[in-house]
Chains A and B, each alone.
Chain A
Amino acid sequence: MSSKKIRVLVAKPGLDGHDRGVKVVARGLRDAGMEVIYTGLHQTAQQVAETALQEDVDVVGLSILSGAHMTLVPRIKELLSKSGMDDVLLLVGGIIPEGDREELLARGHADQVFTPGDTLEKITDYIFQSFKESRDS
């Protein structure tokens, strides 16, 4: 009897010491029944990608409040692809200007970007919906 659980890595890449948001999100995902791996502050892009690989996660959630999203997100996406993890859902949360958000999505660097004001429910719904679609297709 298979009993798959959605595994999520939530990470704080780069020089960014603000982790209240990521902890709230981690807690919310936990309450939605997911297994959430949290690796703490100041992770390099390599550390994030390597952790995603070893933990075999379905989702990587990056919390970035430092403004370095246009560098870090594409870099992590690239490293994930390199290790054969193209199918991982890559989500970004933080202070992301609308123009950057559109660019990240348009270039396929991120699957979705959440910004202040978005609810936990919106995030969990998005994850559940993506998995429903990938199972149905």
Chain B
Amino acid sequence: MQQLVEDLLNGSKRAAARLISLVENDDLQKIELLKEIFPHTGRAYVVGVTGAPGSGKSSLVDCLLQQMRADDLKIGVIGVDPTSPFSGGAILGDRIRMQEHALDQDVFIRSMGTRGSLGGLARATREAIQVLDAFGKDIILIETVGVGQSEVDIVRTADSTMVVLTPAGGDSVQTIKAGIMEIADIFVINKADLPGSEKTITEINMMLDMKKSDKWRPPVLPTISVRSEGIAEVWGALKEHRSYMEKSGYLMEIRRQRVSRELTEQVEYLVKSRIWERVKERFKLDSLVEKIVLRQKDPYSTANELLEQIKFYGENGKEGD
């Protein structure tokens, strides 16, 4: 296991790939591995690309890869596609548009299924980012699943978020709705050769101008990714946003918030799993469930009884019985 982390730090692609699988599969060694990786993380800049299915996220990532590689940056890509709620299977097809970079030694592309997560990312996206960060990637591009209006987990994961839209996506009311329209640091209007693109750009700009703020004002940039048009401007805007985030101190601020949230989640996870261990040791859950189904008990008092009886911690902070 230690060997795997060592290989990762020495640039082994096989090790990076194996490690992502281990964290994704919730392997028993996951926490140990993440502990070892952690000191080597925090260097990569994370860019999120989100938008509706078919809006051109993968193609845009492909074009951006070209720009970033021209600047000699090492890139990791995580492409997320939906897992079937019925079979648990998935078709991961983001790579199709990126295969030109498959043999580039400084580009590492990984496809992930959401595996039950509903916010547009895969369950283990954050952990996969850690692995690629420690692997030495300068930029990590995260392509979300094709989203609707409210799958906005990416904004809590990425340092810069791009929202990809296409022309004629509804009237101007759509632009003032909450959710995805609020999370963009950069708006990209892809397929800008289609009719209606000027109107879409104007409507988004009007929406943005409603809000007076001295903070970052997201640019709205047209692209035609099949012809690589407008891509240099997007890459320019990304660099500008990054330097804004760094100079204003916002980058540190959002990273602080992120760590705080992750710490909270980790504590909650540990508490939860310990409580369940004890509950399962002591109680026959099946028979309780049966009683609740037969309306002999109610779930609310049953939950209270369970918690009262397992005495999680003793009074002086030592673990209780």
Contacts and interface: CB of A to CB of B under 8 A. Distances in A.
Contacts of A29: 89
Main SS class of interface, B: mixed
Given A5-B25, A47-B99, A56-B21, A84 B14 contact: yes
A85 B13 CA distance: 12
B26 A5 contact: no
A53 B89 contact: no
A3 B124 CA distance: 12
Interface stretch (A38-46, A63-71, A102-110, A113-121): A38-46
B180 interface: no
Contacts of B20: 56
A36 to B, nearest CB: 5
B25 A33 contact: no
B103 A30 contact: no
B102 A35 contact: no
Interface string B63-92: 000000000000000000001100111111
A56 B95 CA distance: 14
Contact of B88 (A1, A5, A38, A47): A5
A27 B91 contact: yes
B48 interface: no
A4 B25 contact: yes
Interface stretch (B109-117, B168-176, B208-216, B231-239): B109-117
Interface residues of A, number: 32
Contacts of A5: 25, 88-89, 113, 115
Contacts of B178: none
Given A37-B92, A54-B102, 13 more contacts: A5-B25, A26-B91, A32-B89, A36-B89, A37-B93, A38-B93, A39-B96, A40-B96, A46-B103, A51-B109, A53-B13, A56-B17, A56-B21
14 contacts: A2-B26, A5-B115, A29-B89, A31-B87, A31-B89, A37-B92, A38-B92, A38-B96, A40-B95, A51-B99, A53-B13, A54-B110, A56-B21, A84-B14
Interface of B: 13-14, 16-18, 20-21, 25-28, 83-84, 87-93, 95-96, 99, 102-103, 108-111, 113, 115
